[in-house]
Amino acid sequence: MSKEMKLIAEWTYKPSDVVRGYTNQTLFVNVGSRKFAAKPVSEEMKLKFTGGRGFDLKLLWDAVNENTRWNDPENEIVISGGPLCGTTQYPGAGKFYAAFISPLTDQTYDSNSGGHFAPLLKLAGFDALELQGKAEKDVIVFIDGDAGKIQILESPFDDVNAYTITEALHEAFSDGSNDDKRFVSVISAGKAAEKSLWGCLNSSFWDIRRKVARLKQAGRGGGGTILRDKKIAAVVVRSHKLSGDINKAVDVQVLQDRGNKLHREIHDLDAQQCRMRTVGTPHLNEIMNEYHLLPTHNYKFGQHPDIDKIHSNVYEGLFTQGIPDGCWYGCSLACAKAVDNYTIQTGPCKGKVVTVDGPEYETVASLGSNVGVFNPQWTIEANFYADHYGVDTISLGTGFAFVCECYERGYITKEHTGGLDLNFGRADDLMELIHRMAVGKDEFALAVGQGIRKMKRIFADRYGAPYEEMEKFGMEGQGIEVSEYVPKESIAQWGGYFLTLKGPQHDEAWLIFMDRVNKQLPTFEDKAEALHYFPNFRTWFSLVGLCKLPWNDIEPADNATAHRPQDAAKVPEHVQNYVDIFNAVTGRNISKEELVLMSERVYNFQRVFNLRMGKGTRKDHNIPLRALGPVYPDEWLAREEYYDNELKSVGVEPAGLSVEEKIARLQEARLTQWEQLKDAVYKRRGWDRNGIPTVRKLKELGMDFPEVVSVVEKHARPEDQWKD
Amino acid sequence: MPVPRISGRTSRVITVNGEGLDWHEGMTVRDIIRARKFTFPMLAVWIDDSPVSRGAFDTTVVPDGATVQIIHMISGG
């Protein structure tokens, strides 16, 4: 098929070899001006930004200015793996990280995905890819690592939905054989990414056992929306240089030793620990329910009597077993579960028999319990269409949950929804809304796709819905929807979700057990310490190209007894593994402490980047009231004794108070605690009272580049500096 | 009737993650886990600063007045 695609522009280059994890050059493609370039990677860039998300943000900083909005041509999607990406000896090393100015948050966003794209991009000779500009009509960007050429091709596809275009492009850019298709990877979005701000980036790998293209997602932040705004139908990379030592590591033996040890742990212990190899992340379904953390009915409740219908055992039965489900070679954790031979029941693919990736826990909750649907078949179908149409399942589900509550409360009616009954649990009508969003069928479908923050305003302006009430239960922070854990049970998790760089996504810190159940974080200073360490430790995965799951979703047999509880939570042996494999690949000699320092550099750089974009201050760290506690009587009454005790813990005697009064008093106390948490966290992170990194902190980190310091100096105010 | 455990002190209560729990003779780690509905599989248990291996939860008897930590190991979503 490649011959059928009209060549628009072509550029040839000399593929750079990988040495110690780096190719030492990045690729720039502007689909509007049709300009191409290879940019050198300096030693300083490696030292300060490491790779992956660090490279993304550095390149994005250089590409945009403070006035750039998401749909301006200079906005970029920057994609990078990192120096460990492509490692086959240690599990979880196939991730890429994409960064861009988000259509949802108007600041930087970073989102990650498994699949084969980043390792193949590295083999094609590049540490990162910058996509800039806007094409006049749909194009395919083809990176041919074998021939050393980049092409912009006219897209021949009328249907840009992900499964359609991905299968076709694996066919088109291979010799057509099952084996050869694995040397190709495709990034795509889909039709709904054109009509909503929730567009995701689908990233493929060819599953040679199933003989189908599998799709993993950099789901969050609207990257797919930007891809389609640039009229890029897909980005294709091809390289046949796959080998067992892609990164040309300094010491392969260390990689093998650490990898073999972890493989043994996974083999021996996974069945008793998280069951990642048989059920993957849905092992959490009933656990989250038991601890009142499974969001149901728009985070009103954390438990539901129908939990058995979505129990992990049900999903285990639906997932095909006995197939190594790693999304990159060498990942024995193998959590990329799939449902095979699923017959689509609705929409344009009705009747087709397909393989559906997932659902992951997040999707079981978002397109399941949170919208009041406890039917795995429906969730699987919704998951398929979300991927196919190119929308993020988390924002979609949390957004729909908000819509359902607005409908339940009578703020919107069938008159507004185009005849759809959008009460919680109305599975058929919710599925129909997904299809309507994909084609932008009507005003309402388009409004929903704008995300909760804009929906609140639209519903108020167009339909007369009460804005202040919707503010209470619209579960978004910084403009993006909350992922799928009930946050109102843990003060530390308020920070894990809402004192983040990009909004309430669960990839910075998940502290609910440490805080709420283990009681390991009794003071604000304890919580702040955790909100310093974990976000920075976890940022490191995004710099080097690793998946987080092999860190703590499997642990050594003696982890719980060999270390004091506070230390055991960090899984010290695995952290040491990361230090060892980083040094083994790159030849550097970092320590555990320097690992966190590497992250802190990029974390603070990203915070200043957001400041540069007009965000990144205290007021931008917003939190909806439902994240702090119950906002309506039914929430309180569902756990009356529990919440009465919560009220007592803040010094208020509940006897004699009405439920409404209790809610108001608890909210009042928790808002005070929220501000106390902000102070403690900002202080620990080396930020001022307004949440801005201090120049002193930047100097300490070696990130005091003049252009970075000047942003801070422009915004920092004397009254926000700490007195002590 | 409270039973003396240590000279000069009586108790029928243990502390689990900072909160009191009624104690009974022969109480095991598993009994506490059940009582608290801790269904998460990756638990670390410490009794009075000594670790208990997961394989010994069913057989380890918790002494009266003990300070028990039952730590849920997950620290990332």
What is the ipTM, given to two decimal places?
0.87
Please indicate, yes or no, if residue A581 is contained in any of the structural domains. no
> Does residue A119 belong to any structural domain of this protein?
yes
Residues listed for chain A:
724
Model confidence, pTM: 0.96
Distance CA A20, CA A34 (A): 32
Same domain, A409 and A295: yes
CB contact under 8 A, A560 and B71: yes
Interchain proximity A569–B71, CB inside 8 Å? yes
- pLDDT interval class at A569 (50, 70, 90): confident
Nearest CA in chain A to B72: A513
Domain annotation covers residue B77:
no
* pLDDT of res. B9: 56
Q: How many CA atoms lie within 13 A of A136 on its CB side?
A: 4
Average pLDDT on A525-547 reads 96
| Set of chain B residues whose Cβ sits within 8 Å of the Cβ of A272 | 41, 54
Domain boundary among A465, A481, A497: A481
**Residue A400 sits in the same domain as residue A496:** no
Query: What pLDDT is stored for residue A638 in this prediction?
Result: 97
Is A290 in contact with B19 (Cβ distance < 8 A)?
A: no
Rounded CA separation A470/A475 (Å): 9
The CATH number that applies at residue A668 is 1.10.599.10
Instruction: Select the residue from A283, A484, A519, A531 to test the B interface by mutation, using most B Cβ atoms within 10 A.
Output: A519
Rounded to the nearest integer, the mean pLDDT of chain A is: 97
Kindly state whether residue A246 falls inside one of the protein's structural domains.
no
**Domain-located, residue A689:** yes
The CATH number of whichever domain residue A177 belongs to comes to: 3.60.9.10
Please give the pLDDT value at position A489.
84
Taking an 8 Å cut-off on Cβ atoms, the answer to whether B40 and A561 are in contact is no
| One domain, residues A626 and A695 | yes
- SS3 at position A479: coil
Boundary-marking domain end, from A481, A515, A535: A481
The A residues from 470 to 529 touching B (CB cutoff 8 Å) are: 483, 485, 506-507, 509-511, 513-514, 517-520, 522
Structural domain boundaries enclosing A477: 279-481
Helix (H) or strand (E) holding A341: strand A338-343
Same domain, A511 and A639: yes
Number of CB pairs, chain A paired with chain B, less than 8 A apart: 84
Q: What is the pLDDT averaged over residues B1-22?
A: 72
Coil vs helix vs strand at A130: strand
Does B76 contact A538 at a Cβ distance shorter than 8 Å? yes
pLDDT per position as a tens digit, A353-381: 999 998 999 999 999 999 999 999 999 99
Q: Is residue B12 packed enough to be buried (19+ CB in 10 Å), middle (13-18) or exposed (0-12)?
A: middle
Which chain A residues contact residue B73 at CB under 8 A? 513, 552, 555, 559-560, 568-569, 571
The string of pLDDT tens digits covering residues A249-302 is 999 999 999 999 999 999 999 999 999 999 999 999 999 999 999 999 999 999
* Residue A541 in contact with partner chain B when CB distance is under 8 A: no
B56 C-beta neighbours (distance < 10 Å), count = 14
- Write out pLDDT tens, residues A441-452: 999 999 999 999
Q: What is the pLDDT of residues A467-522, one digit of tens each?
A: 999 999 999 999 999 999 999 989 999 999 999 999 999 999 999 999 999 999 99
Place of tokens 């970029």: A76
* Distance to chain A for B69, nearest Cα, Å: 7
Determine whether the interchain pair A510/B54 forms a contact, defined as Cβ–Cβ distance below 8 Å: no
CB A113 within 8 A of CB A95: yes
Where does a domain end: A207, A238, A269? A238
Q: Which domain holds residue B30?
A: 3-72
Q: Which whole number is the average pLDDT over A623-639?
A: 98
C-alpha to C-alpha distances, A280 to A96, A273, A486, nearest whole angstrom: 20, 11, 20
Residue B24 counted as domain residue:
yes
Which residue of A lies nearest to B18 if distances are taken between CA atoms?
Answer: A519
Residue B6 reports pLDDT greater than 50: no
CATH number at residue B19: 3.10.20.30
Domain at A310, CATH number = 1.10.569.10
Q: pLDDT tens across A127-149, in order?
A: 999 999 999 999 999 999 999 99
Indicate whether B77 pLDDT > 80. Answer: no
Total domains in the fold of chain B: 1
